[in-house]
Amino acid sequence: MAEETKEMQKKEAQAQERVERTKSSRVYTPDVDIIERKEDIVLIADMPGVDEKSVDITLEKNKLTIQGAVSREIPEGYRLAVSEYGIGDYERAFTLTEEVDRDRIRATVKNGVLKLNLPKAGAGKIKKIEVRAES
């Protein structure tokens, strides 16, 4: 049971060398599923606590970066007695190949799950070339 608990816990992101954070909160690496289909690639990231206003997705050259900000909400008049769930921001980066059509990337978020649709570029698709008999 203890091993299962460790697998379910969020992984804290390792600070990259040359990167200084200006915020003192923790940063977690969101777990993702990547699904490749015929026409596109779908990336699904678990980011509990984020919504469309707190997610920032940037694409610079071939680097796609996902960042999500989460704040602890304690109702007015109350104080936090125990906190077992780690609150912090999310950050993850991916390197895209030329196979992805950068102009048609779409993102949605619902209930803390971010879904990125990465359409494949037309040039990267397989094209069947017809062979004819020469007369």
Identify the CA nearest to 45 among candidates 98, 134, 112, 95: 112
Identify the CA nearest to 86 among candidates 14, 31, 9: 9
Please say if the pLDDT value at position 5 is more than 60.
Answer: no
Rounded CA-CA distance 40/50 in Å is 25
- Supply the pLDDT for residue 20: 55
φ/ψ of 114, rounded to 5, equals: -90, 130
Please say if the pLDDT value at position 53 is more than 50.
Answer: yes
Percent of the chain scoring above 70 in pLDDT: 79
Tally the residues of the chain: 135
For 20, the token pair is: 């200084």
Q: How many CB atoms lie within 10 A of CB 50?
A: 24
Percent of the chain scoring above 90 in pLDDT: 51
pTM for the predicted model, two decimal places: 0.72
pLDDT in tens, 18-34: 455 666 678 899 999 99
Fold of 24-73+85-122: Immunoglobulin-like (2.60.40)
Residue at 4: amino acid letter: E
φ/ψ of 10, rounded to 5, equals: -70, 145
Rounded CA-CA distance 31/11 in Å is 8
